[in-house]
A = this chain, B = another copy of it.
């Protein structure tokens, strides 16, 4: 009964939400999407050189006094408003731009311009028995909607990756960064026009009304994909309301399993790196699983090492038998992405128990095993369902830059279309092509 009631209640809310969308707003969002769709046809046939010239032009502008002044002036408005609203220092840091940060964004643009263009590449070529030459050609997806929160650099990064992969993009940034996003999008659009590409290749939704997002993610047939980037609440909101495909990335509850046959010195090095090198990111370690075969020696040692590095450990009953000083983990801990210096720790009965724990609490993000036993390593790699599975290495390697994608628009924890870091290739699809000399089917 519970699920039906939940569905009804959600649906009445939905109907209310739909009722509240202003008709003018909905129709102007549709119009923007239609223009983006038309632009996407032009972009799909644009040459790599033309797309790269746009990126280089934006990079140049973001280093010029004129554009820098305009962007920083707009950014100051956002930052002042955020200060007046007494938001956290961390959020203001994410929001604030400077000449140095703009130069870093410009560097990223030049880097994307230098990456190989996936569009038009033909893979898996074959000649059929009848002489038909077939293959699969990489083509853009079409129109990609990005819904994101406070960082204004996403405006430029996302526009650059979409443009290079031949897609039009519709950007819906957070309200905290509204003026900054508009100033950055203006720089991008000026470069598109200067290089003869349509303005609608990059469209910033001119309002931060939440209903604009609702209207946007319902445009089945006009928008080909929506990528929400931000907190779990934003992602759930988009997923619930979308009528177009969504690629999600909810959270990273990443595990390291230290097997009884592990090199314990290596295990220590990897755990310290995965937990403490940058605790606020999605591929950081959140739960440590220790095989009971090595727990008595390893657990007290790693607990001391981590405590010395200011990590708070929360253990299950068996971990606390070995380390009574640990705080007790609650049920919720096993599903929590801390994003700070906290680590939950459990003792497990070998590989099968570790696999069962990960199947129950994993978030399809990144999982690692430390072992010298190749058979166990292979079973772990084969049986764990996650966008990246590592043997004897830190979870921090699940990253587009580290894995050689050149750049990433996000990490997908959904299995359809892309699983893991998404670079330029993951923003394309493949159509079949066939070159014949009059072949017909018999």
Contact = CB atoms under 8 A, between A and B. Distances in A.
A252 to B, nearest CB: 14
Given A273-B440, A359-B41, A429-B419, A391 B11 contact: no
Contacts of A439: 392-394, 397
Contact of A441 (B134, B392, B396): B396
Interface stretch (A13-21, A59-67, A148-156, A299-307): A13-21
B414 A245 contact: yes
A111 interface: no
Contact of A432 (B396, B420, B434): B420
Contacts of A4: 18-19, 21, 23, 26
**Counting chain B CB atoms within 10 Å of each CB, which of A19, A359, A415 scores highest?**
A415
A170 B154 CA distance: 40
Contact of A391 (B15, B245, B266, B434): B434
Interface in A143-201: none
A225 B392 contact: no
Nearest to A9: B15
B139 A385 contact: yes
A388 interface: yes
A49 interface: no
A392 B437 contact: yes
A363 to B, nearest CB: 12
Contact of A277 (B273, B417, B440): B440
Interface in A17-46: 18-19, 21, 23, 26-27, 30, 41, 44-45
A70 interface: no
Contacts of A88: none
Interface stretch (A73-81, A90-98, A324-332, A398-406): A398-406
Contacts of A410: none
Please state the number of chain copies in the assembly.
Answer: 2
Contacts of A389: 431-434
Contacts of A388: 431-434
A436 interface: yes
Contact of A440 (B136, B269, B391): B269
Nearest to A246: B245
Nearest to A267: B438
Contacts of A3: 26-27, 30, 215, 218
A121 to B, nearest CB: 12
Contact of A8 (B15, B41, B139): B15
A126 interface: yes
B393 A438 contact: yes
Nearest to A7: B18
A279 interface: no
Contacts of A23: 1, 4
**Counting chain B CB atoms within 10 Å of each CB, which of A377, A386, A414, A431 scores highest?**
A431
A228 interface: no
Contacts of A44: 382-383, 385
Contacts of A402: 128, 441
A398 B132 CA distance: 12
Contacts of A396: 440-441
B436 A386 contact: no
A431 B412 CA distance: 11
A212 interface: no
A263 interface: yes
A102 to B, nearest CB: 26
A12 B141 CA distance: 33
B397 A132 contact: yes
A438 B392 contact: yes
Contacts of A266: 437-438
A237 interface: no
A18 B11 CA distance: 9
A342 interface: no
A258 interface: no
10 contacts: A4-B23, A11-B14, A44-B385, A45-B382, A134-B404, A393-B434, A393-B437, A397-B439, A417-B417, A419-B432
9 closest A-B pairs by CB: A393-B436, A273-B440, A388-B432, A396-B441, A1-B23, A7-B18, A11-B15, A266-B438, A417-B417
